[in-house]
Amino acid sequence: MAYLVALDYGHGGSDSGASANGLVEKVLNRKIGYQVRDLLIYNGIQVVELADDENTYVSLQERSNKANKSGAHIVVSMHNNAGGGEGAEIIYSIVGGKGKELAEKLQTEISKHQVFRKIYTRVGANGRDYYHMIRETKAPAVIIEYGFVDNVNDVQRLKNPAFLETMAKDTVRGICNYFGVVYKEPQPKQNDEDEKPTDSDPLDGIVHRDIVDGTQVGAFDNPESIADLVVKYVSQGKKNIVIQRV
């Protein structure tokens, strides 16, 4: 069965989130989030993105509505923190259940490579969950805070692209473990002299995302796969098929 993950890149547009030391949360969240998206797809897990790029404001209500409409199996909201502290935090629903299970799988992986501060729930008004993305989504949901933009040690890590890549991989490992999917590490491109010339594969390495009615269904770097996918979804009567260069 194909799993669907709703990915929520925190903040955007006029809402920058936390910022300090040259780090702006809305940008940082996407640097990690886009890698999470691509790695999930590489691992055969489908993705629906709840937010646009960092220049676009999308309200929490629009985000949770989109998650609920998509039928996503889980919601993963990605953030970074400020206000004193060091390391990662993960928040899940006060009802526990599958959301807690997902949070713990993510903690296991992220804590291997980042200081782990806490895993917790937060009660809001009327004894319900405090955080919108956890309270208003039907699927099990977690919020990940990868680090503090105002902590000297976290800043050093968050400015290192290799660390962001590691956080993305840990997130995808945690999600794969939750679903019982064996995580596949992407293979780095090899400079094999025997490799066929690129003229037989004009898009080699140039990845196009394929988005059908707002849900990403694949990412390919060869024209045949893109064509196959278009034929498949056109024949299913889908109205909105977007092929987007990454």
Ramachandran class of 155: left when φ > 0, alpha when ψ lies in -120 to 50, beta otherwise: alpha
Distances (CA, A) of 155 to 9, 84, 97, 144, 160: 19, 12, 33, 17, 9
Q: How far is the CB of 17 from Zn ion (least distance, A)?
A: 4
According to CB under 5 A, which one of 4, 9, 17, 119 is a site residue for Zn ion?
17
According to CB under 5 A, which one of 5, 8, 9, 10 is a site residue for Zn ion?
10
Count of residues that interact with Zn ion, criterion CB under 5 A:
3
**CB closer to Zn ion, 53 vs 185:** 53
**CB closer to Zn ion, 17 vs 140:** 17
**213 token code pair:** 């009615």
Binding flags for Zn ion, 54-93, as an x/- string (CB under 5 A): -------------------------x--------------
Give the ranges where the chain is alpha helix by DSSP (H).
25-42, 60-70, 97-110, 132-135, 152-158, 161-179, 223-235
Is residue 12 close enough to count as binding Zn ion by CB under 5 A? no
The stretch among 16-24, 167-175, 178-186, 222-230 that binds Zn ion (CB under 5 A) is 16-24
**CB closer to Zn ion, 25 vs 38:** 25
CA 121 to chain centre: 21
Identity of the residue numbered 87? G
Residues 43, 169: Cα–Cα separation, whole Å: 11
Q: Which residues bind Zn ion (CB under 5 A)?
A: 10, 17, 79
